Amino acid sequence: MITGKPLYTVEQIQQRVKEMAGQISKDYEGEELLSVGILRGSFMFFSDIVKLIRVPMNIDFLIASSYVKTHSTGKIKLHADIREDIKGRHVLLIEDIVDTGLTLAYIREMLLARKPASLKICTFLDKKSRREVDVPLDYVGFEIPNKYVVGYGLDCENKFRNLPYIVVFKKSS
């Protein structure tokens, strides 16, 4: 059940994505970037932010998960890996939300082992209060409370991803 008004409106999301893209463009000025989206949740954020980043860029995706329904299992499953060789390249990993940090830490270590020139992490939402593993985040859209949220790519049992805003979701009793 979706509750109350949006936590972040379409306008707030668009403004923050624009600000983040501006900072990333500035930080990578004069460099070529490989942006890697973590699917499925990041697809809306990824699409919006890469359109606004103003440096030469290649894109790739990987699919990883640790959730079953609304709970993290703590076990990371890599469903699809990136196809690009990242050795010696500047890589920007783009995530929808960082919760426990387990999935992101796993992916980060996997990519660092491939010897990129640099690896930075960009997440739209950061739920610090749930963190189990410390993961360095270079670009953060919003820090959110410990609430289950859906919309803007985030789902509950693969529903609500298409909402253009972010809203709190509560399981009905």
As annotated, the active-site residues are 99
Say which DSSP state 61 is in: E
Residues 6+ apart with CB under 8 A from 136: 121
DSSP string, 64-88: EEEEETTEEEEEEEEEE---S--TT
Cα–Cα nearest to 80, from 141, 36, 49, 115: 36
Residues 6+ apart with CB under 8 A from 129: 145, 146
| Two structure tokens written together for 26 | 């500035």
Q: How far apart are CA 108 and CA 114, in angstroms?
A: 10
Cα–Cα nearest to 18, from 143, 110, 139: 139
Q: How far apart are CA 108 and CA 119, in angstroms?
A: 8
